[in-house]
Chain A
Amino acid sequence: GQQVMQIPQYQHVQEGEDFTTYCNSSTTLSNIQWYKQRPGGHPVFLIQLVKSGEVKKQKRLTFQFGEAKKNSSLHITATQTTDVGTYFCAGPDRGSTLGRLYFGRGTQLTVWP
């Protein structure tokens, strides 16, 4: 079945260092979405990428969608303690106008002050 894989599972960085998480889909995606879950909280939508090769920025966060629309990345420049949490990518069900999202297992980011 359709799968979305995400690496690494865990990342520990010193405050000020950069961070990147990678997402790969077993199928071509119509779009990819990114969510952030703070410790003890619930996932919150960050952004959606739709176009092949698309790059979007949110302050220190840069999101990319691959040319083949099968992979994506989230890069955080100069991490801060407020970036702590788990970052999930998610892609929709292939071949269906309706349906579920397939979530990656997430990358848990820890930032040491």
Chain B
Amino acid sequence: DGGITQSPKYLFRKEGQNVTLSCEQNLNHDAMYWYRQDPGQGLRLIYYSQIVNDFQKGDIAEGYSVSREKKESFPLTVTSAQKNPTAFYLCASQRSGAGADTQYFGPGTRLTVL
């Protein structure tokens, strides 16, 4: 089965702790993206990567970090510097970085910081 997986589905962390969200795809897509979704805010881009070992900041990168060591994987770390980390996090992939390609989304991780 081809697709994008995100784990875990729900994640609880204490304030001040870093947490890493997993995103894996077996679609052989070059580009991968991380979005944050808050109620009424739509999808806000955190980071994206169009090729292995390269990534760019999106609109709300502060307090987040990523790595892209493998084509299949694009983990997102929510650091303690992120002031309001509780949100729904969506990972997406795209065949190439071209604007004509569509994005495929994972099921998301709902992070709650207590």
**Is B25 at the interface (CB under 8 A from chain A)?**
no
Set of chain A residues within 8 Å of B107, measured between Cβ atoms: 41-42
Tell me, in angstroms, the Cα distance from A61 to B49 when the chains sit together.
33
**Is A82 at the interface (CB under 8 A from chain B)?**
no
Chain B: CB-nearest residue to A29:
B99
**Scoring B residues 51 to 62 as 1 if CB is less than 8 Å from chain A, else 0, what string do you get?**
000000010000
Q: Which of A48, A98, A103 lies in contact with B98, CB distance below 8 A?
A: A98
State which residues 13-37 of B face A: CB under 8 Å. Answer: 31, 33
Contact B45 A100 (CB under 8 A): yes
Contact B41 A30 (CB under 8 A): no
**Is A96 at the interface (CB under 8 A from chain B)?**
yes
Question: Nearest-CB distance from A92 to chain B (Å)?
Answer: 2
Interface residues of A (CB under 8 A from B): 6, 9, 30-31, 33, 35, 41-45, 48, 50, 88, 90, 92-93, 96-101, 103-106
